[in-house]
Amino acid sequence: MALINENFLKLKAGYLFPEIGRRVTAFQQENTEKAARLIRCGIGDVTEALPAACIKAMHEGVDELADRASFKGYGPEQGYAFLREAISANQYDGLNISADEIFISDGSKCDTGNILDIFGKGNRIAITDPVYPVYVDTNVMAGNTGDANESGAYAGLVYLTCDASNSFVAAPPAEKVDIVYLCFPNNPTGAVATRDQLTAWVNYALANDTLILFDSAYEAFVQDSNVPRSIYEIPGAHQCAIEFRSFSKHGGFTGVRCAYTVIPKALMGSTVSGEKVSLHQLWSRRHSTKFNGASYPVQKAAAALFTPEGKEQVAALIHHYMGNASLLRDACKAAGLPVFGGENAPYVWVGCPAGKTSWEMFDLMLHEAQVVITPGSGFGAAGEGWFRISAFNSRANVEEVCRRIGQLFQA
Residue nearest to ligand MLT (CB): 44
**160/183 with CB nearer ligand MLT:** 183
Nearer to ligand MLT, 44 or 380 (CB): 44
> Considering just the CA atoms, what is the radius of gyration of the chain in Å?
21
CA–CA distance, 113 with 286 (Å, rounded to integer): 13
Q: How far is the CB of 136 from ligand MLT (least distance, A)?
A: 13
Helices (H) and strands (E) in the chain, counts: 13, 15
| Shortest reach from residue 252's CB to ligand MLT, in Å | 12
Pairing of the two strands 386-390 and 374-375: antiparallel
Residue 218 Cβ vs ligand MLT, minimum distance, rounded to whole Å: 9
How would you class 352 by CB atoms within 10 Å of its CB: exposed for 0-12, middle for 13-18, buried for 19 or more? buried
Nearer to ligand MLT, 17 or 409 (CB): 17
Considering the complex, what minimum distance in angstroms separates the CB of residue 235 from ligand MLT? 30
Q: Residue numbers of the site for ligand MLT (CB under 6 A)?
A: 43-45, 109, 187
Q: Is the dihedral of CA 374, 110, 184, 133 positive or negative?
A: positive
Nearest distance in Å: CB 154, ligand MLT: 19
Q: Which is nearer to ligand MLT, 137 or 178 (by Cβ)? A: 137
What residues pair up with 278 in beta bridges, in sequence order? Answer: 268
Cβ of residue 195: shortest distance to ligand MLT, in angstroms?
25
Amino acid at 87: I
Please identify, using beta-carbon distances, which residue of 109 and 287 lies nearer to ligand MLT: 109
Q: Which is nearer to ligand MLT, 18 or 235 (CB)?
A: 18
The H-assigned helical ranges of 43-99 are: 52-65, 81-91
**Residues 6+ positions from 240 with CB-CB distance below 8 Å:** 202, 205, 206, 210, 211, 212, 267
Beta carbons within 8 Å of 330's beta carbon, 6+ residues apart: 402
Query: Which of residues 43 and 141 has its CB atom nearest to ligand MLT in the complex?
Result: 43
Distance CA 23, CA 259 (A): 30
Q: 23 or 34, CB closer to ligand MLT?
A: 23
Phi, psi of 194, deg, nearest 5: -75, 170
Distances (CA, A) of 29 to 12, 366, 401: 26, 13, 22
Q: State in angstroms the smallest separation of the CB of 389 from ligand MLT.
A: 11
- In angstroms, what is the minimal distance from the CB of 44 to ligand MLT? 3
To ligand MLT, the closest distance from the beta carbon of 99 in angstroms equals 25
Could you tell me if 345 and 361 are in contact, meaning their C-beta atoms sit under 8 angstroms apart? no
102: closest CA among 248, 280, 240? 280
Among residues 109 and 404, whose Cβ is nearest to ligand MLT? 109
